[in-house]
Amino acid sequence: MPEMRFAVRWPDGAVTEHYSPSLVMHDHLVVGADYPVEDFLARTSAALHEASERVRAKFGFACTSAMASEQEIGRLAAGFGSGTVEVLRMEPPLPGDEGAA
């Protein structure tokens, strides 16, 4: 199961990097897109739950690293009443997207 990292810029300009145990994040976020904080939180929460369930289906247990990522994103998001989160990068890219900018 391929794992990935994704980096985002928060409304205050801080950049953070997060982990997902699968490439499912590509189904929920687009590199270069800006999402309102609440939308970003909902999208990443859904994606990380889906990724954790993929781990459960394959190995018989949920992914604690995905849940830790979700908790960290929730903690960070709680500090913003408004604003947008920009998706800076997702690595690795989906197969076939390696040359996309």
Model confidence at 62: pLDDT above 70: yes
Q: Residues in the chain, how many?
A: 101
Measured CA to CA, the distance from residue 38 to residue 82 in angstroms comes to 8
Decide if 63 contacts 55 (C-beta within 8 A).
yes
- Higher pLDDT residue, 18 or 1? 18
In the predicted model, what is the mean pLDDT of residues 63-90? 94
- Mean pLDDT value across the chain: 91
The angle subtended at Cα 40 by Cα 37 and Cα 43, nearest 5°, is 150
Model confidence at 22: pLDDT above 50: yes
The angle subtended at Cα 7 by Cα 38 and Cα 89, nearest 5°, is 110
